[in-house]
Amino acid sequence: MERLRIVIVEDHPMFRKGLRALISSVADFEVVGEASDGDQAVQVALDLLPDVVLMDLQLPGQSGISAIREIVAASPTTRILVVTLFDDDDSVFAALRAGARGYILKDTDETDMIRAIRTIAAGESLFSAAVASRVLAFFATPRPVASQAFPSLTTREREILHLLARGRSNAAIAVELSLSVKTIANNVSNIFSKLQVADRSEAIVRARDAGLG
């Protein structure tokens, strides 16, 4: 019997242990590796090339979102199932844009967790009920125009984000706005914090989705 090869990425030892016990109880499932931070997740996944990675989002080191993006880019046949506490829109859509094939919450019962792993391994997508309702609501709601997006940003930060979305480097933005590179870097850092994104690529995706760029 061919087993589904699974990697668990989770920084909380007790929850990781629980997932491992659940997976080990299923005859055709096999835990082939574990990771407790984002950098290790990428390394383990690319070394082992599992069928499915169970990925937490809040991790030491690089974020789960960033790790998903790296794994999917290097190993498109590896399916990512997010298993997390967070069901906010930013987390859900950042994970899906990064390449996750499913998104469930940590309070999912054991039967549904097993079903989710099988579904993702089969190449389909699956969301927990709470997440599915958010996805449906997102597509049912008119998209914001650029002028209304990211109200927490200052005018200068929005201007810089617009240029980031156009693919400009910090140095190029500094020249275009007649500011120092350090000033641009500080503003970019503030943008990341306000948008709750881990890196430049996530910020660019958010900006373009909102009509900037």
Q: What is the pLDDT tens value at each position of the chain, 213 positions in all? A: 689 999 999 999 999 999 999 999 999 999 999 999 999 999 999 999 999 999 999 898 888 988 999 999 899 899 999 999 887 777 888 888 888 999 999 999 999 999 999 999 998 988 887 777 766 666 665 555 555 678 888 889 988 998 888 888 899 899 888 889 999 999 999 999 888 888 888 888 888 888 776
Same domain, yes or no: 51 and 107: yes
Residue 141's pLDDT is 58
Same domain, yes or no: 150 and 131: no
Same domain, yes or no: 52 and 110: yes
Residue 143's pLDDT is 53
Reported as a single tens digit per residue, the pLDDT across 163-183 is 888 888 899 899 888 889 999
Domain containing 83: what range?
4-140
Residue 1's pLDDT is 63
Same domain, yes or no: 154 and 136: no
Q: Find out whether 87 and 73 touch, Cβ atoms under 8 Å.
A: no
Start-to-end Cα distance in the chain:
51
Same domain, yes or no: 66 and 164: no
Residue 2's pLDDT is 85
Reported as a single tens digit per residue, the pLDDT across 119-158 is 999 989 888 877 777 666 666 655 555 556 788 888 899 8
SS (H, E, C) the chain: CCCEEEEEECCCHHHHHHHHHHHHCCCCEEEEEEECCHHHHHHHHHHHCCCEEEECCCCCCCCHHHHHHHHHHHCCCCEEEEEECCCCHHHHHHHHHHCCCEEEECCCCHHHHHHHHHHHHCCCCEECHHHHHHHHHHHHCCCCCHHHCCCCCCHHHHHHHHHHHCCCCHHHHHHHHCCCHHHHHHHHHHHHHHHCCCCHHHHHHHHHHCCCC
Same domain, yes or no: 166 and 135: no
Residue 82's pLDDT is 96
CATH number at residue 98: 3.40.50.2300
Q: Round the CA-based radius of gyration of the chain to a whole number and report it.
A: 19
Same domain, yes or no: 115 and 166: no
Same domain, yes or no: 166 and 132: no
How many domains is the chain partitioned into structurally? 2
Residue 134's pLDDT is 67
Same domain, yes or no: 192 and 116: no
> What percent of the chain has pLDDT above 90?
52
CA distance 154 to 158: 6
What's the pTM? 0.66
Same domain, yes or no: 114 and 150: no
